[in-house]
Amino acid sequence: MKKRFLFIIVTATVLILSSCNKDPIVSNDEMVGISKITYYPNFEVTGGPNISLVVGTIFTDPGVKASAGGADIPVVISGSVDASTVGYYTLTYTATNKDGFSATTSRNVFVIPSAELPGVDLSGSYMTTGGTPNATLTKVAPGVYFTDNCWGNGSLAIIPAYFFCPDGTTPIIPFQVAGAYGRIMTTMPGTYSSTGLITWTIIREDFSPPLTLQKTWQKL
């Protein structure tokens, strides 16, 4: 009985080893075992995500490259820029890998009314006259700023926006969609005083009738 039991164990071990030898583990750039490796698109945005140019000049896209697994893949561009019209434009770049998986990235292009004057910088922290949370203004391109709240004045709405102020005195919020708060813009150029006070009149077009209110922010 002992000899027969030992023979069975030895035979089973040989069969297991033989089976393992027939199915080597695959590991390369395409497969690991039975799992296929997918390399998702990565983007290199030349010139950064925000670009400004003066109205009437020629816009040339600095370019976007996409790669997957170290190999370049084609990029499809959607959107357009009207360099003859002051405004805020978005270009979207899409790339698809060989397995059919797509990814996108985007660039904001701002056509501003004039060249930025030397030394102009409105960046900083601001307090609304209504006592709601402070806002931060950040320069994202020459003559262009982003504020995490352009509304304020006692309102609970926190509305982010891009705006232009290349001359340091007349801020303009171009037409844009401010997330869940919808379409906004200034009805006319606002003012920026030497004391750091911003005053602008904003229209929220998704109200019926459109809501138009003057807002003021003081630099801290």
What pLDDT, in 10s, does the model give residues 19-65? 445 555 555 456 544 457 889 999 999 999 999 999 999 999 999 99
In this chain, the answer to whether the domains covering 42-112 and 124-219 adopt an identical fold is: no
Name the maximum alpha-carbon separation found in the chain.
Answer: 103
What pLDDT, in 10s, does the model give residues 90-104? 999 999 999 999 999
Considering the segment(s) 124-219 as one domain, its CATH architecture is Beta Barrel (2.40)
| Residue 133 confidence (pLDDT) | 74
| Residue 6 confidence (pLDDT) | 34
Class of domain 42-112: mainly beta
Q: How many CA atoms lie within 13 A of 62 on its CB side?
A: 14
**Model-level pTM?**
0.82
Write down the domain spans for the chain: 42-112, 124-219
Q: What is the overall mean pLDDT for the chain?
A: 87
> Per-residue pLDDT for 187 more than 60?
yes
